[in-house]
A and B are shown apart, each in its own frame.
Chain A
Amino acid sequence: EAQVTQNPRYLITVTGKKLTVTCSQNMNHEYMSWYRQDPGLGLRQIYYSMNVEVTDKGDVPEGYKVSRKEKRNFPLILESPSPNQTSLYFCASSSGRLAGDNEQFFGPGTRLTVL
């Protein structure tokens, strides 16, 4: 089954404790992206990647890191989480860049709480 998976689905952590949210897709997609969704602010793009070893900042990259060492994986790293990073995070993938009219497939989301 074609899908985007995220782990963990739920995470409660404390300020400053490094964490990684994994994202994996089995569709051989080139484009992958991370979003956060907050009440009243909607969905905002954090980082995206056009291909292996190619990443770029979205609208809200501060406090986040990403890496793309393999095509299927695109982990989101919070080196020193803070309470304002409490949010619902989504990973998405697409067969090509979005401006090529390629559909995005979204993961189920990771709800992160930083105390």
Chain B
Amino acid sequence: KQEVTQIPAALSVPEGENLVLNCSFTDSAIYNLQWFRQDPGKGLTSLLLIQSSQREQTSGRLNASLDKSSGRSTLYIAASQPGDSATYLCAELDRDDKIIFGKGTRLHILP
């Protein structure tokens, strides 16, 4: 059974620091990988999508990388701000349209 793991489950960092969130997956036939943000009591917002043929994607202060051979993806957040506090989820999609989510990393940026 395919699995997606996110470590750590929670993370607190001071404002202004750069940080990395980790995601690992077991599916070697991954089609794409997505990073989402979830604010308390709200739905998910898509942040970045990396196709299996790509190595990374960037949007503003966010950069996501994908290494299929090692089964890992990272989300890099530069110059963190209190507004970045949220839960970040990664999800891998296989070619049969089956999507599997990680349990998320709860990020708290300390002012």
Chain A interface residues toward B at CB < 8 A: 4, 35, 40-45, 48, 58-59, 90, 92, 97-99, 101, 103-109
List residues of chain A with CB within 8 A of the CB of B46.
103-105
List residues of chain A with CB within 8 A of the CB of B100.
59
List residues of chain B with CB within 8 A of the CB of A40.
103
Give A101 to B102 CA distance when docked, in angstroms: 19
Interface of A is mostly: mixed
List residues of chain B with CB within 8 A of the CB of A58.
98
The distance from the CB of B88 to the nearest CB of chain A, in whole angstroms, is: 12
Indicate if the CB atoms of B104 and A106 lie closer than 8 Å: no
| B contact residues, total (Cβ < 8 Å) | 24
Indicate if the CB atoms of B31 and A90 lie closer than 8 Å: no
Closest A residue to B45 by CB, please name it. Answer: A106
Indicate if the CB atoms of B43 and A99 lie closer than 8 Å: no
Give A15 to B73 CA distance when docked, in angstroms: 41
Contact of B99 among A41, A90, A98, A105 (CB under 8 A): A98
Contact of B43 among A42, A90, A97, A103 (CB under 8 A): A90
Contact of B103 among A41, A92, A101, A108 (CB under 8 A): A41
